[in-house]
Structure 1
Amino acid sequence: MEVPMGFVAKLWSFTSFLPFFFLLFILGLFKGALIGPVALGIIVLGNSAVVIGLWPAHCIWTYYCVARSKKLGLVLKILVLVSLPVPLILWPVIGILGSILGGVGYGFFSPLLATFEAAGENFSDKFYHCFADGCWSTIKGSCTVVQDFTDFCFHSYFSYMDEVIEKIPAEEKPMDIKLSKLPCCLLACLIGVLVDVLLITAVALWKSPYMLFKGWKRLLEDLIGREGPFLETVCVPFAGLAIILWPLAVVGAVIGAVISSFFLGLYGGVIVHQEDSLIMGLSYIVSAVSLFDEYVNDLLYLREGSCLPRPNYRRNMSTSLAHKMLDDNDLKNRRQGSYGSKLVSENSRTLKWAVQRYKPVQVWDWLFKSCKVNGSILIQNGMIDIKDIEECMKGDCKNLGIKLPAWSILQCLLASAKSNSSGLVISDDVELTRANGPRDKMFEWFIGPLLIMKEQLKALQLSENEEICLTELFWRYKNDKPEEWDNTGFSSSDSVRRAQLQAIIRRLKGLVASLSRMPTFRRRFRNLMKLLYLEALQASASGSHIGGILASRNGGRSSFQEEDMEVRDETVNKAEYGENDKENVV
């Protein structure tokens, strides 16, 4: 769209926008007031039932796993067992209060935002969508929230606990603390909580007016000038909404700072144990406030650094200082580059640039699209049969739920290594790099190791025969020892080369195992299994090699065929995975 130039044009753009915005805002408030209580009731009642119902099992199983754990030494184990009642008692309170706050926020703001989205350029019948959008979808979304929360409390929790009681290698020592250091650690934790909570809260409150007024300044400039993030027509209504709701964002930032200050203070005890010095722990407590102040200054584009003292809290700070210098240089580059999140007067980015940066949900969608495509290929090759899919649909996804995503990511790593890409080639025209990847910490933790593994595969320079064998050996073997690949047709007999490839496979599976504990993973993977199950049935009906698997089971009829019509109804959402993904997804 054409950006208004000149004072008169900008004033007319702003004046003509106000009635349009207030009508949408009033309609959104009405929808939020109508749908919000329903969504709140679903989320609070559902999540509270899950928290209270599973609380006895969580308490018993947590104590059992900690007591049985071989990863914790005797002193640390006793300390954890003694302190466990505090988080276990607080968990129901936090879960219910969080459900109330989340239910209020989601139930009210989801219809409100949907109202503004319906006014965008992508909708033809805007009048209808402004009234209808955000009503039924919010109620369905509330049920999805409860489902994901249930998956986390029931499946993810027990998966984490399984790791606690796993055996450790003989050469690995359990984590423990010395009794002589315990009093100093506890003293540092106590002092850290008292000092850091007070001072960090004071810094957050002191800087909150700057955040409030600088945010308002930027939003108003973008709204009136139709520049920055609000250059496009679809985003103009959100400018007014963001101006009204910006104080809530500031309050949320202050609350987040207060909550994080507790953990920053407690970390002082860890510093004392690592450095074996109470003085170092006290120095960290002081430095934590300075580090927080500098972090806030960087976010708000205030002066660099901090005027607060920052004593050394490590005996050898050379490595830490080197990393800090690199981080400072990176920060300066971000300030000077065109991709910094700055005010309009500081050359703020436009929405078109923002679209070029991939969001976490886009990476998440790619993973399941890739699983859909590669799952179909594996079914055709006989590496996945209906029995595997049925077991996963019944709830036992420990095998297929890790192998299929890891195998899909491996194909991406191999393709990226062959293309000499600086990042990950996730489709024919999309390349995910550190520059355009999500800034979300969780996805940086996910993408970073993948880039390292891609470089390792690139350095190994696998031949085409080795790549084919690798993908089959990945699926058929545990890949714990190089000897497993003997007599498998793998062209290289170099045990070191085999060990390197197996290490990449194990690390990849471990990474996917951690991802599988995310609440949305289980729900989306179940939907994926339903789609693959239908493909397996069609392949069986067409007389392919997996057709005999259904025989000898319920007289030739699968136990899941009775639910086939229900599954087919649910596959209306197949467009979520894309119909042409086989041509576009690696």
Structure 2
Amino acid sequence: MEPPRGVLSSVWNFIRFLPYFIGLLLLGTIKGIIFCPMVCLIMTLGNSAALLGLWPVHCVWTYYSVFRSKQLGPVLKLALFICIPIPLVLWPVLGIVGSMVGGAAYGFLSPIFATFDAIGTGKSDELIHCLYDGTWSTVKGCFTIIRDFSDVCFHSYFSYMDELQGESPNRKYEIRLLHLPGAVIAGVLGFLIDMPTISLIALYKSPYMLFKGWNRLLHDLIGREGPFLETICVPFAGLAIILWPLAVVGAVLGSMVSSIFLGAYAGIIVYQESSFWMGLQYIVASVSIYDEYSNDVLDMKEGSCFPRPRYRKNDGDAPTPSREGSFSKHGSFSKKPPVRAPSFKNVFLELNPLEFLDGLFEECQCHGEKLVSEGLITPQDIEDAKSSKSSRVISIGLPAYCFLRSLLHSIKANSAGILLGEGDTEVISTNKPVDTLFIWILNPLLIIKEQIKAMNLTVAEEDYFCKLVLLSDDNTDRLKHSFMGTLPEPEIKRAELSALARRLRGIVRSASRFPTFKRRYDALVRILSEELAKKKGGTDSANGCKPLPRSKSALIVRIFSQKSFKKEKSNDGSGVESQQIMRDVEIE
């Protein structure tokens, strides 16, 4: 349904909406006040117990890992031994304070969001949902956060330390003492020059930011567009109008603080480029970088009046492409105004990198059940996954196997990017999410895809490659027994496939350290264990993959990804699947 376009109808619609908005806001606030202390207490106690319980182990193991590391030189190790106590002392303090603040914010805001989200989603008994939503779900979400935080403190931490201790022939870090004095001087000069200069630029542009922000927010308020389009966003968007001057002050103060680090980065440039002159050029260029970035954010004239000299020897330091203006109706690249402002709910979920793991583990479940039935994943793998050994075949090999299958499917379909799921979603370089996690994962995958495409693999070579990715960390005898065909020739091709397999597994190994991965991994192991029990009992699942437990937001992400990323198709019943997914949302 499109928002009303007439001025009178827009004003009347807004006035008619006010009682509902005030009622929902009061109800959500009451629930937030009730659950905020309890959730804050639970999250603080849970996270503090995990943090303080593992803190002595973290202290000892961090020093031990640095001492045993073969990637660090002796001078760097000595410097780390001196500096490590500072983060080790700050870690429990910041962790406990952050748990208190985060628990209070989550306990208060989650019921409010859930109350507004209870209407407008096609639910029956909206009154009951308004009263109930955000109560027990907030408490369960609190325990989920504690679980994920504990997994990060234990599994992710030891994974990083194991990597630090391991050998890495391509990485050797050491402090070059000869360049330290120049780096320190350049860092101090950058701070002294950039901080006042950037602060003056921020103060100069602050009135423009104030009035343009008010103009955009008031325009969206009257027309129920932009942040006012979704019911769940109205209270916060309305509050933004009142508190917008504080946001401007915060932006100016943030610019002043960030200028310290932006200027001090000149010391890193001097150290990396081994040139004091490059550091001085960066000090001048950093002012231009900030000025151009702020112009893009405020939708001002592109470019900067300040010079921007090159401060890198190898690359040209091309000007940063303009970004979509925060206050403009359309960005610098697109000159066509959108028909309807995007949903806040969908945009928020698109930028949440953790939801990406839901789709990955769905693929792992489907492929895992097939591999269990074929015998490639053995009962011993599942038993190791349940124990502290953590089978690499399931934790690393299976997700990497799913990535490889998606790449091979994309190559056969002649896709310019990567086809996800059954091929109805295509991610390419121009529409991929801009979150850092996606950049770390998708950019290397796009490169690996082109390398695989250039190799022109046969069916037998693809089979060997898939099993190599799945079992390469296991013993070589198992890989030979599982592959019955002839090995790829020549030997250099096998070496290239082995290198690509290591890269795919390395991507998964990095992703396995993110929050929620361990929880989803445990759910996957339970489902594969059930599949193995069915296989032993002689029963076979006729309904395909049993869905992994996943959040409601993950289902909405799937709908949004289909709307945003898939190619234009004819109306041949494509809306049926989205309707079915929405029914699944209601059931959950």
The 2-side partners of 1:258 and 1:511 are apart by: 36
Confirm or deny: 8 A CA contact 1:13 1:224 kept in the other structure: no
The 1-side partners of 2:497 and 2:378 are apart by: 26
Q: Superposition RMSD on alpha carbons, in Å?
A: 3.6
In the TM superposition, residue 4 of structure 1 has moved relative to its aligned partner by 1.7
Confirm or deny: 8 A CA contact 2:21 2:235 kept in the other structure: yes
Q: Please name the residue that 1:462 is paired with.
A: 457
Instruction: Identify which of 485, 490, 494 aligns with 1:489.
Output: 485
Q: Please name the residue that 2:337 is paired with.
A: 347
Kindly provide the amino acid, as one letter, of the partner of residue 340 in structure 2. T
The 2-side partners of 1:574 and 1:293 are apart by: 41
The 1-side partners of 2:329 and 2:388 are apart by: 44
Q: Structure 1 stretches of 5 or more lacking a match?
A: 545-567, 579-583
Q: Please name the residue that 2:387 is paired with.
A: 394
The 1-side partners of 2:507 and 2:144 are apart by: 25
Kindly provide the amino acid, as one letter, of the partner of residue 34 in structure 2. L
Q: How does 1:169-568 map to 2 (within 5 A)?
A: 169=169, 172=170, 174-192=172-190, 210-211=208-209, 213-228=211-226, 235-245=230-240, 247=243, 261=259, 263-308=261-306, 310-314=308-312, 316=313, 319-321=315-317, 323-324=318-319, 327-328=320-321, 331=322, 340=330, 347-348=337-338, 350-351=340-341, 359=351, 360-397=353-390, 399=392, 400-428=394-422, 429-478=424-473, 489-490=485-486, 492-542=488-538
Kindly provide the amino acid, as one letter, of the partner of residue 130 in structure 1. C
In the TM superposition, residue 281 of structure 1 has moved relative to its aligned partner by 2.4
Q: Please name the residue that 1:128 is paired with.
A: 128
Report the secondary structure of 2:420's partner residue: strand
In the TM superposition, residue 22 of structure 1 has moved relative to its aligned partner by 1.2
Confirm or deny: 8 A CA contact 2:523 2:549 kept in the other structure: no
The 2-side partners of 1:41 and 1:82 are apart by: 35
1:473–1:277 distance in 2 versus 1, CA, 3 Å: closer
In the TM superposition, residue 385 of structure 1 has moved relative to its aligned partner by 2.4
Confirm or deny: 8 A CA contact 1:294 1:305 kept in the other structure: yes
Report the secondary structure of 2:516's partner residue: helix
* Deviation string, structure 1 residues 183-212 (Cα, Å, up to 9, x no partner): 222333445456656665665566566555
Q: Please name the residue that 2:112 is paired with.
A: 112
In the TM superposition, residue 577 of structure 1 has moved relative to its aligned partner by 9.4
The 2-side partners of 1:258 and 1:349 are apart by: 38
* Deviation string, structure 1 residues 323-360 (Cα, Å, up to 9, x no partner): 33xx42xx37x579x99569x99835635688699554
Confirm or deny: 8 A CA contact 1:29 1:112 kept in the other structure: yes
The 2-side partners of 1:208 and 1:494 are apart by: 64
Confirm or deny: 8 A CA contact 2:117 2:231 kept in the other structure: no
Q: Structure 2 stretches of 5 or more lacking a match?
A: 541-545, 556-576, 578-588
The 2-side partners of 1:499 and 1:136 are apart by: 53
What is the TM-score normalised by the length of structure 1? Answer: 0.82
Confirm or deny: 8 A CA contact 1:185 1:270 kept in the other structure: yes
Kindly provide the amino acid, as one letter, of the partner of residue 516 in structure 1. S
Q: Please name the residue that 1:4 is paired with.
A: 4
The 2-side partners of 1:250 and 1:398 are apart by: 51
Report the secondary structure of 2:177's partner residue: coil
**Greater mean alpha carbon deviation, residues 521-530 or residues 350-359:** 350-359
In the TM superposition, residue 276 of structure 1 has moved relative to its aligned partner by 2.5
In the TM superposition, residue 502 of structure 1 has moved relative to its aligned partner by 1.7
The 2-side partners of 1:258 and 1:46 are apart by: 36
The 1-side partners of 2:148 and 2:35 are apart by: 21
1:479–1:64 distance in 2 versus 1, CA, 3 Å: closer
1:476–1:440 distance in 2 versus 1, CA, 3 Å: closer
Q: Please name the residue that 1:550 is paired with.
A: none
In the TM superposition, residue 431 of structure 1 has moved relative to its aligned partner by 1.6
1:120–1:290 distance in 2 versus 1, CA, 3 Å: same
In the TM superposition, residue 286 of structure 1 has moved relative to its aligned partner by 4.3
Confirm or deny: 8 A CA contact 1:358 1:437 kept in the other structure: no
In the TM superposition, residue 15 of structure 1 has moved relative to its aligned partner by 1.1
In the TM superposition, residue 543 of structure 1 has moved relative to its aligned partner by 7.2
1:35 paired to 2:35: yes
Report the secondary structure of 1:519's partner residue: coil
The 2-side partners of 1:419 and 1:345 are apart by: 32
Report the secondary structure of 1:180's partner residue: helix
The 2-side partners of 1:225 and 1:345 are apart by: 21
In the TM superposition, residue 462 of structure 1 has moved relative to its aligned partner by 1.8
Confirm or deny: 8 A CA contact 2:468 2:498 kept in the other structure: no
1:249–1:463 distance in 2 versus 1, CA, 3 Å: farther
> What percentage of residue pairs aligned between the two structures are identical?
44
1:571–1:446 distance in 2 versus 1, CA, 3 Å: closer
1:217–1:280 distance in 2 versus 1, CA, 3 Å: same
Confirm or deny: 8 A CA contact 1:372 1:577 kept in the other structure: no
Confirm or deny: 8 A CA contact 2:400 2:469 kept in the other structure: no
